[in-house]
Amino acid sequence: MYDLIVIGGGPAGYIAAIRAGQLGKKVACVEVDRAGGTCLNWGCIPTKALLKNAHLYHQMKHHAADFGMKFDNLSYDWSEVIGRSRKVADRLAGGVEFLFKKNKVDYLRGFGSIEGEGKVGVTDKDGKKEVFEAKNIIVATGCKPRELPPLPFDGKAVLSSKHAMNLKEQPKSMLIIGAGAIGVEFAYIYNAFGTEVTMVEMQPTILPVEDSEVGKTLERSYKKMGVKCLTDTKVTAFKNNGNSVTLTVESKKGTQDITADTCLVAIGVAPVLPGGETPELDERGFVKTDERYTTNLPNVFAIGDIDGPPWLAHTGMFEAVQCVDGIFVEGHNPRRVENFPGCTYCHPEVASIGKTEDALKAEGVDYKVGKFPYQALGKAQAIGETEGFVKLLFGKEHGELLGAHIIGENATDLIAEMGLALEMELTADEIHSTIHAHPTIAEAIHEATLDADGHALHI
C-alpha cells in the first residue's frame, strides 16, 4: 500500500512524488513516456537549447563585426543542432530518475489509470496491467498540443511543437498559426537559421497575453529580422498539399492565400487524461478541483496543466508542493497560484508578472508607470544587447507594485526580483532604496522605479 501514487512524471508530477518522498512517505510515480514529461523532454528544456543555438548563429552571422570578429564560410549542421537539444533533454531526464532513487520514489513505467477508489492501474508497453493500491492519488497527466480539426498533425507538412523541435530536415519556409509563446519561440529558431517564417495571429499583437506595448515592440524586432507577422488576421481555409500547406487568411487588407513547406500549429493545448475512472471535468475538458486541489473522486487530487491554466511548468511545481503538503502536513492550508511569471525565451526575451496596463485601465485603477530603456544601460551597451525596456506599474496612492513587464536581455531571469516584490507587496520607495549593482542589466529595474516618480538618473 502506497501513501501516494502520482500519475504523470512531468514537472508537477515528479515534484509531487519527490516532495512526498522527502516527507518520508511511500510513493510511486507512473509515467508512460519518460521522467520529466513534455517540459523536459519535448518542451521547455530542448526548445531553450535550440534557442541558444539559434541566437549564437544569428549573432555570429549578423553581429560578429561589432565585436571585432570575422568568419569565413560560416555554416551549421542541422542534425547537430537538433542532436544537441536532445542530448540536453536526455541528461536532465536521467537526473529526474536519479532524484527518484535518492528520495525512494518507485518509478513505474506505463500508462496510468484510476481503477476505483485507492487503486491505480499501470499498463506497460506490452499491454500487461498491474494494479497498485494507494491511500492518495494525484493526477498530473498534463497536456498535449491542440490540433486544428481541418489540419491534423502529420509530422511532415503539419507540425506540432514536438515535431518542430525534431525535424530531420530544415524546411525552407514555415507558416505558424498562433503567435503565443510557442509560436514566437519557434519563429525565432527557424528564422535564425534561414527558414522563411510567417506567423498568423488573430489578436492585434503577437504575444497577446503580454502588455500590448511589449507585443508591439517584439513585432517590430521580428519584422527587422525578416519574420512576417500577420496580426489581426484569421485563417479561413486550410489545405495540406502533402509536401506543403496552403492557408487562406483574412484581414482588414483583404483575403490572400499563403503557402509554405510546413505549418506549425501553435494554438494552445488539450488535456491528457488518465485511463479508467475520470474525475469531473470543466467545459474545456480539464479536471475540476477545489482550493486543496481535490477532485470529486475520493482522495484523488489534480495538479499542473491538467488542472487548467496557467499552463506553465513552474506553476505546476508550485501546485505540487502545495498539494502534497496539504495532504500530509498537519495544519497546512494549500495556496492556489496567484502571482506567477510568464516567460517567453525568444530574442529579445519577454517576461512579466502581475497586471498589464490594459487590465488596470479596464479595472479603473489609478496607477503610474516607470519605464527605462536598455539603450541607456552601460552593461547593455557593453554586451551589445540594447534592445528592450523595463516597464513597471505602481499604484498611484500607495506606490505598491502592480505589474512588471520586461523585454530584453535576461528578462526571464530579471522577473524573479519583480515576483518577490509583488509577493512581498513592496512599494516603489522600497525597491529604489535597494542598491542594484553597477554595471548590470538589473539596474533597469532600479531606474524604472525611479522613473515612476520622474526621478530616473540616467535618461
* More confident site: 266 or 90: 266
Residue 34 confidence class, pLDDT cut points 50, 70, 90: confident
Fold match, 2-145+269-328 / 348-451: no
To the question of whether residue 366 is assigned a binding role by annotation, the answer is: no
Q: What b/e sequence results for 360-371 when a residue is b if at least 16 CB atoms lie within 10 Å of its CB, and e otherwise?
A: beeeeeebbbbb
Residue range 2-145+269-328 forms a domain whose CATH class is alpha beta
The Cα–Cα gap between 155 and 166 comes to 10
User: What share of the chain has pLDDT > 70, as a percent?
Assistant: 100
Within 13 A of 9's CA, how many CA atoms are on the CB side? 27
299-351 pLDDT, tens digit per residue, is 999 999 999 999 999 999 999 999 999 999 999 999 999 999 999 999 999 99
Assigned CATH for 158-265: 3.50.50.60
pLDDT for the residue numbered 35:
86
Q: Are 30 and 120 in contact (CB under 8 A)?
A: yes
Going from N- to C-terminal start, the domains of the chain cover: 2-145+269-328, 158-265, 348-451
> What's the mean pLDDT when you consider all of the chain?
96
To the question of whether residue 93 is assigned a binding role by annotation, the answer is: no
To the question of whether residue 178 is assigned a binding role by annotation, the answer is: yes
Helices (H), 268-410: 313-328, 357-363, 378-383
**Amino acid type, 273:** L
The Cα–Cα gap between 55 and 376 comes to 23
The Cα–Cα gap between 96 and 336 comes to 25
Single pTM value for the model: 0.95
pLDDT for the residue numbered 26:
98
Sheet holding 350-354, edge to edge: 342-344, 350-354, 401-407, 389-395, 367-373
pLDDT for the residue numbered 42:
83
Which range, of 91-100, 103-112, 327-336, 369-378, averages the lowest pLDDT?
Answer: 91-100
- CA geometry: angle at 219 spanning 217 and 221, to 5°? 75
To the question of whether residue 179 is assigned a binding role by annotation, the answer is: yes
To the question of whether residue 184 is assigned a binding role by annotation, the answer is: yes
pLDDT for the residue numbered 71:
85
DSSP state of 374: G
Residue 459 confidence class, pLDDT cut points 50, 70, 90: confident
- What DSSP string runs through 399-426? -BEEEEEEESTTHHHHHHHHHHHHHTT-
DSSP state of 66: G
To the question of whether residue 110 is assigned a binding role by annotation, the answer is: no
Whether pLDDT at 217 is above 90: yes
Average pLDDT for residues 95-102, to the nearest whole number? 94
User: Catalytic residue positions?
Assistant: 438
To the question of whether residue 201 is assigned a binding role by annotation, the answer is: yes
To the question of whether residue 48 is assigned a binding role by annotation, the answer is: yes
Helix (H) or strand (E) holding 223: helix 212-225
The sign one gets for the Cα dihedral 395, 399, 402, 408 is positive
pLDDT for the residue numbered 175:
98
37-87 pLDDT, tens digit per residue, is 888 888 889 999 999 999 999 999 999 999 999 988 999 999 999 999 999
To the question of whether residue 305 is assigned a binding role by annotation, the answer is: yes
The CB density around residue 411, as the number of other CB atoms within 10 Å, is 28
Average pLDDT for residues 1-18, to the nearest whole number? 97
Is domain 348-451 classified as CATH 3.40.50.2000? Answer: no
Residue 192 confidence class, pLDDT cut points 50, 70, 90: very high
